[in-house]
C-alpha cells in the first residue's frame, strides 16, 4: 500500500491555473520589497540630523579655502611670493604691472571683469584665505565710484552689466564662521578683498552699493539677512542651506510630559557555573517579588509633518519589589513572681523565686525595596491613523546615568549560609550596561486647542543591574498618560 500511495501521489499533477497566482505573487513581492525600506526608515531622522550637524560644523570652517573665486586665484598666482595677507596693490599702475608679470592672471582678470561671466573656480593659493581671519583684495577698473547694484544668479554668479565697485581700497576682515559680524576698513586707493568677485552679493540680489564700505565699521546680521562675506564662503552649499531652512516649517518642536505605572517582572542571569550555588540562589528568588514600576518623563522633541517624531529629555524610573523573609527572635522574660513547691517525702516546701522565661518566635517580615533610575531617553515615534483614531508607535533607548537602591536582601553566599543585608555598599546593585529599552503604542486625543493627550501601553526593559553573581533586568508592561504641547504656534 505504501509504495502504491507514494508512487501515485508523487506523480500526481493537480489541474490548476498556476498563472492565476502570478499577479498575487508579484504584488506580495513588491510589498515585501517596500517593507524592507520601511524597516530601516527610522534611521533617516537620525542620519538627517547628523548630516545637518556635520555640514553646519565643517562647511563653515572649510568653505573659504575651497570656494575662492577666480579673481582671487589669479591674484594669488601673480603674488604667490608675497605675504599671505595682502596689503595693497595700489593704483591701476600696480595692477597693470602685475598683469605684465603674469599674463595669465591678466587674462583671467580681464575676463572676470567682463560683464556676463564670472564663474567661481577653486582657489589654488590658500595664502589669501586663512581660516580665521582673511584679508584679501579686490581690484577694480574704475576708481572712485560707489558700489552699485549687482544682479546675478546665485548658481552661476553671472555678472550683470551695471555692476561696478568703488575704487577705494578696503581691507576686509572676514569672519570665517559666517553669520556674525565683519568689519571693513578704508583708506586705500583700490578696493581689495574677495568682495570683488560676483559672489559678493546676497542671494536675493540685495544691493551691494547700499554698504558704504568706506565708512563701514560694524554690521550685524540676522539668520535670513546673510552677510555678503558669509555667502562668499558658503555659496556652493547655499542650495542645501535653503533646503534645510525650507524644511524648518515641517518640523514642529514640542514638549512631552508623561507618567506610567506598570506591572513588573524580572529576568535573572547567574554568572556562576556552580550549579549548587545557582540552585540555592534560585530557591531564594521567590523572597523578592517585583511589584511596580513608576515612570516619569519630561522630553523635548521635533515632529516632522505630524508623522515622525524624535524626542529626548529626562526620565525617572522607580522600581519597587517586595521582600518577604522570616525572622527568628528569642524573647527572654524575667518573671519575678514565681511560686512553686518542692515535695520531698512527707515534707513540702513552698518557694518564692525569680526565673527567666525564654520564648523563641518566628515572624514574617515584609520589606519594600526600591530602585531609582535617572536616565536620558532617545525616542522615535511614528504616527498613523486607523479610521477615526490616531495612534503613535514609539521605540526608544534610555541611558541611565544614575542609580540608587534602598532595600534589604537575603544574600546567599557561595561559601554557604545567608544573611539579611540592608543597604550595605559592598552588596549594592550596580548599573552594568546602562541601556534600557522601550516599545510603546499610544492613542492620541487632541485637547486644549492644539495640545494632545496620550494614553499609552508600553513595554519597558531596564538596564542590567548587577550584584555579585547576579545580573538582572526588570521588565514592565505599563499603562500611562502623557501630554504633548506643541511649541511656537
Partner 1 sequence: MTNKTNIKRLLDGCKKQDWAAQKELYLLFADDMMSIAIRYAKDLPSAKDLVQDTFLTFFNKIDMYDPSKGALGAWLRRVLINKYFAEYRKGQRLLYPEDAVLPDQETDLPSAIDTLEAEDILGLLKELPEGCRIIFNLKVVEGYNHNEIGDMLKITASASRSQLTRAKKLLRRMINERGLYSNEVNKQYRSKPM
4, three cell numbers? 502504491
Q: Which stretch binds partner 1 (CB under 8 A): 20-28, 124-132, 375-383, 405-413?
A: 20-28
Main-chain phi, psi angles of 63, to 5 degrees: -65, -35
Distance in angstroms (rounded) separating the CA atoms of residues 309 and 198: 41
Q: Does 38 bind partner 1 (CB under 8 A)?
A: no
Q: Nearer Cβ to partner 1, position 36 or 352?
A: 36
User: Closer to partner 1 at the Cβ: 13 or 359?
Assistant: 13
Binding flag, residue 365, partner 1 (CB under 8 A): no
CB 418 within 8 A of CB 442: no
With binding defined as CB under 8 A, does residue 359 bind partner 1? no
# binding residues, partner 1 (CB under 8 A): 24
Taking CB under 8 A as the criterion, the residue among 6, 80, 282, 450 binding partner 1 is 6
Q: Left (φ > 0), alpha (ψ -120 to 50) or beta: where does 205 sit?
A: left
Give residues with Cβ within 8 angstroms of 328, minimum separation 6: 360, 361, 362
Antiparallel, parallel or unpaired: β 470-486 and 418-422: unpaired
Q: Compare residues 16 and 350 and give the one whose CB is closer to partner 1.
A: 16
- Minimum distance between the CB of residue 11 and partner 1, rounded to whole angstroms? 7
The span from the CA of 343 to the CA of 30, in Å, is 105
Among residues 18 and 339, whose Cβ is nearest to partner 1? Answer: 18
Question: Which run of H or E residues covers position 80?
Answer: none
The least distance separating partner 1 from the CB of residue 40, rounded to whole angstroms, comes to 16
Of the two residues 33 and 366, which places its CB atom closer to partner 1 in the complex? 33
| Residue 171: alpha-carbon gap to chain centroid | 42
Binding segment toward partner 1, per CB under 8 A, in 21-29, 208-216, 249-257, 401-409: 21-29
Cα–Cα distance measured from residue 168 to residue 145, given in angstroms and rounded to the nearest whole number: 8
For position 13 contacting partner 1 by CB under 8 A, the verdict is yes
Q: Does 366 bind partner 1 (CB under 8 A)?
A: no
Told to check if 34 binds partner 1 by CB under 8 A, we report no
Give yes or no for residue 52 binding partner 1 (CB under 8 A).
no
Minimum distance from residue 384 beta carbon to partner 1 (Å): 24
37 binds partner 1 (CB under 8 A): no
**Residue 489 to residue 485: CA distance in whole angstroms:** 10
The dihedral sign for the CA sequence 46, 458, 405, 425: negative
Specify the residue for cell string 515615534: 381
- Is 362 among the residues that bind partner 1 (CB under 8 A)? no
| End-to-end CA, the chain | 80
Q: Report the distance separating Cα 78 and Cα 72, nearest Å.
A: 10
Least distance in angstroms from the C-beta of 457 to partner 1? 22
Contact between 19 and partner 1 per CB under 8 A = yes
Which residues contact partner 1 by CB under 8 A?
A: 1-2, 4-6, 8-14, 16, 18-19, 21-22, 24-26, 28-29, 32-33
Amino acid at each position: 500500500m505504501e509504495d502504491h500511495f507514494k508512487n501515485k501521489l508523487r506523480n500526481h499533477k493537480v489541474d490548476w491555473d498556476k498563472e492565476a497566482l502570478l499577479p498575487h505573487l508579484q504584488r506580495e513581492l513588491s510589498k515585501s520589497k517596500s517593507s524592507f525600506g520601511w524597516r530601516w526608515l527610522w534611521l533617516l531622522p537620525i542620519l538627517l540630523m547628523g548630516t545637518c550637524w556635520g555640514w553646519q560644523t565643517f562647511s563653515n570652517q572649510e568653505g573659504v579655502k575651497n570656494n575662492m573665486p577666480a579673481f582671487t586665484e589669479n591674484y594669488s598666482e601673480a603674488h604667490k611670493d608675497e605675504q599671505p595677507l595682502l596689503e595693497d596693490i595700489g593704483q591701476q599702475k600696480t595692477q597693470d604691472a602685475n598683469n605684465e608679470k603674469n599674463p595669465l592672471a591678466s587674462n583671467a582678470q580681464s575676463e572676470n571683469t567682463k560683464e556676463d561671466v564670472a564663474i567661481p573656480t577653486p582657489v589654488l593659493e590658500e595664502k589669501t584665505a586663512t581660516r580665521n581671519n582673511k584679508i584679501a583684495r579686490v581690484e577694480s577698473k574704475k576708481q572712485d565710484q560707489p558700489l552699485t547694484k549687482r544682479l546675478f544668479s546665485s548658481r552661476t554668479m553671472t555678472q550683470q552689466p551695471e555692476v561696478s565697485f568703488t575704487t577705494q581700497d578696503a581691507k576686509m576682515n572676514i569672519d570665517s564662521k559666517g553669520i556674525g559680524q565683519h568689519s571693513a576698513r578704508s583708506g586705500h586707493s583700490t578696493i581689495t578683498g574677495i568682495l570683488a568677485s560676483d559672489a559678493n552679493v546676497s542671494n536675493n540680489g540685495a544691493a551691494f552699493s547700499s554698504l558704504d564700505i568706506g565708512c563701514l565699521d560694524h554690521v550685524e546680521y540676522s539668520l535670513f539677512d546673510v552677510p555678503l562675506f558669509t555667502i562668499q564662503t558658503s555659496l556652493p552649499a547655499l542650495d542645501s542651506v535653503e533646503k534645510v531652512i525650507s524644511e524648518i516649517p515641517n518640523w514642529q518642536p514640542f514638549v512631552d510630559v508623561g507618567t506610567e505605572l506598570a506591572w513588573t517582572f524580572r529576568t535573572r542571569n547567574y554568572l556562576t557555573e556552580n550549579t549548587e550555588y545557582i540552585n540555592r540562589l534560585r530557591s531564594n528568588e521567590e523572597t523578592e517579588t517585583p511589584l511596580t514600576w513608576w515612570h516619569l518623563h519630561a522630553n523635548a522633541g521635533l515632529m516632522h509633518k505630524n508623522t515622525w517624531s524624535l524626542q529626548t529629555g529626562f526620565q525617572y524610573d522607580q522600581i519597587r519589589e517586595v521582600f518577604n523573609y522570616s525572622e527568628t527572635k528569642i524573647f527572654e522574660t524575667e518573671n519575678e513572681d514565681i511560686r512553686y513547691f518542692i515535695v520531698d517525702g512527707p515534707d513540702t516546701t513552698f518557694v518564692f523565686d525569680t526565673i527567666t522565661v525564654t520564648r523563641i518566635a518566628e515572624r514574617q517580615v515584609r520589606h519594600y525595596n526600591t530602585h531609582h533610575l535617572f536616565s536620558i531617553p532617545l525616542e522615535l515615534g511614528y504616527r498613523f491613523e486607523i479610521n477615526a483614531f490616531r495612534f503613535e508607535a514609539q521605540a526608544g533607548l534610555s541611558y541611565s546615568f544614575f542609580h540608587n537602591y534602598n532595600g534589604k536582601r537575603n544574600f546567599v553566599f557561595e561559601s554557604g549560609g545567608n544573611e539579611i543585608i540592608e543597604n550595605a555598599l559592598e552588596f549594592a546593585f550596580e548599573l552594568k550596561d546602562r541601556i534600557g529599552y522601550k516599545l510603546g503604542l499610544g492613542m492620541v486625543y487632541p485637547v486644549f486647542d492644539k495640545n494632545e493627550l496620550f494614553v499609552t501601553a508600553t513595554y519597558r526593559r531596564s538596564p542590567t543591574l548587577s550584584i555579585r553573581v547576579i545580573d538582572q533586568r526588570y521588565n514592565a508592561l505599563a499603562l500611562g498618560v502623557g501630554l504633548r504641547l506643541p511649541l511656537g504656534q
